[in-house]
Chain A
């Protein structure tokens, strides 16, 4: 009994620490990879390969003045950055990193993730509203519209996977991929989910809520110090989360030969994270109407098509 409790505690804190340090490491990784793809170096001065840049950035952000503007709605202003971290960190609880290694083995895992990612939309919308700044408000509005509409088919795109595996439980979904990873039969679902995931984490090319070239910094224009840092960490946590989920749902999770399960899981997740950065390195930002039209006129029909075809095949084959 005690051993079980300790095991659970180790998993809980292990997941939390690994997720947060991955998010911190991503700050460095992203800048180095962007450098690599833009024929330059990126941060390479602080420590070996510039690895200590993260530490330097952290010291800097902690030492900054933590300022709440007098015109802001103080309570909401402070709560908003916490919400994004909480919602993303909660989603990490359902991810099975290895057989039997998840914080909770929820039978409604996929639904829980979708719920939490909707919860995350509050953070951005509230941050934009509480700042009482027109650019922030515009960013917050865009974020709300974008996240709510992309959530619709993010959920739909996962239903194909759920139908094939016959469960919302992520461990069961991974087990169902023992013979064939879902990225093959559910290729449409993967395509839609990947793009919805990028939109959900507000990354380039769907970074309209931030859009530094038009909206200063969008919903977090007024944030400074560690409150800004939390939005930043939240974004990188989100990338890690979406990559981990894509690994779990479409790329066989911990499955793989020779190497231990946790290593396979980390490798696949890391690779997907690099794809996120590659997208940022190569694509320009969409216009707002393009974003909406693309979502509702292309992605939603694709997700529905995937749903119908998967359902039809499943019924036909019994």
Chain B
């Protein structure tokens, strides 16, 4: 019986606690500075891929879900022959 009253009192005291809800659109959660969000392959204004096939993303990816193959075009510019993201493995 006493424990019931203690429970009620304990819940009542929660009135004075801070709420944990984040009011999302107005209030943003903290993002670490290096947070990049969902993985995308960005394009230049003409619609071509901006990737120079440096493999950095592939190396960084903790679950190794990015696969690409580098080649060069006739001007010596590097570009990926293929660029694959395994979304079934991606942890974002």
Instruction: Write the nearest CB–CB distance from B7 to chain A, whole angstroms.
Output: 5
Judge whether B15 and A36 touch: CB under 8 Å. yes
Judge whether B18 and A278 touch: CB under 8 Å. no
A residues less than 8 Å from B37 (CB atoms): none
Any chain A CB within 8 A of the CB of B56? no
Q: Interface SS of chain B: helix, strand, loop or mixed? A: helix
Knowing A39-B20, A40-B20, A41-B21, say if A282 contacts B15 (CB, 8 Å): no
Selected from A37, A39, A41, A283, the residue in CB contact (under 8 A) with B12 is: A37
Any chain B CB within 8 A of the CB of A291? no
Q: List 10 A-B contacts (CB under 8 A).
A: A36-B14, A36-B15, A37-B11, A37-B12, A37-B15, A39-B18, A40-B20, A41-B23, A279-B8, A283-B4
Taken residue by residue from 268 to 297, chain A's Cβ proximity to chain B (1 for < 8 Å, 0 otherwise) reads as 000000000011011100000000000000
B residues less than 8 Å from A21 (CB atoms): none
B residues less than 8 Å from A41 (CB atoms): 19, 21, 23
Judge whether B8 and A283 touch: CB under 8 Å. yes
Knowing A283-B4, A283-B7, say if A278 contacts B20 (CB, 8 Å): no
Q: What 5 pairs across the A-B complex have the smallest Cβ distances? A: A282-B11, A40-B21, A282-B8, A282-B7, A41-B21
Judge whether B19 and A281 touch: CB under 8 Å. no
Closest to A34 in B: B11
Which of A40, A41, A281, A282 has the most chain B CB within a 10 Å cutoff? A282
Any chain A CB within 8 A of the CB of B10? yes
Provide the bound-state CA to CA distance between A38 and B14, in Å: 7
Provide the bound-state CA to CA distance between A37 and B20, in Å: 12
Provide the bound-state CA to CA distance between A19 and B17, in Å: 32
Provide the bound-state CA to CA distance between A39 and B20, in Å: 6
Taken residue by residue from 237 to 268, chain A's Cβ proximity to chain B (1 for < 8 Å, 0 otherwise) reads as 00000000000000000000000000000000
Q: 8 Å CB contacts to B: which residues of A205-246?
A: none
Q: Interface SS of chain A: helix, strand, loop or mixed? A: helix
Q: 8 Å CB contacts to B: which residues of A100-140?
A: none
Instruction: Write the nearest CB–CB distance from A276 to chain B, whole angstroms.
Output: 12
Judge whether A39 and B17 touch: CB under 8 Å. yes
Interface residues of B (CB under 8 A from A): 4, 7-8, 10-12, 14-15, 17-21, 23
Selected from A38, A279, A282, the residue in CB contact (under 8 A) with B10 is: A282
Closest to B5 in A: A282
A residues less than 8 Å from B10 (CB atoms): 282
Selected from B4, B8, B19, B23, the residue in CB contact (under 8 A) with A39 is: B19
Judge whether B19 and A278 touch: CB under 8 Å. no
B residues less than 8 Å from A40 (CB atoms): 19-21
Judge whether A39 and B14 touch: CB under 8 Å. yes
Closest to B9 in A: A282
Knowing A38-B14, A39-B14, A39-B18, say if A278 contacts B23 (CB, 8 Å): no
A residues less than 8 Å from B7 (CB atoms): 282-283
Provide the bound-state CA to CA distance between A39 and B21, in Å: 8
Knowing A278-B8, A279-B8, say if A37 contacts B21 (CB, 8 Å): no
Instruction: Write the nearest CB–CB distance from A204 to chain B, whole angstroms.
Output: 12
Instruction: Write the nearest CB–CB distance from A287 to chain B, whole angstroms.
Output: 15
Provide the bound-state CA to CA distance between A278 and B10, in Å: 11
Closest to A44 in B: B23
Closest to A282 in B: B11
Provide the bound-state CA to CA distance between A35 and B19, in Å: 9
Instruction: Write the nearest CB–CB distance from B19 to chain A, whole angstroms.
Output: 5
Provide the bound-state CA to CA distance between A40 and B17, in Å: 10
Provide the bound-state CA to CA distance between A36 and B17, in Å: 9
Closest to A42 in B: B21
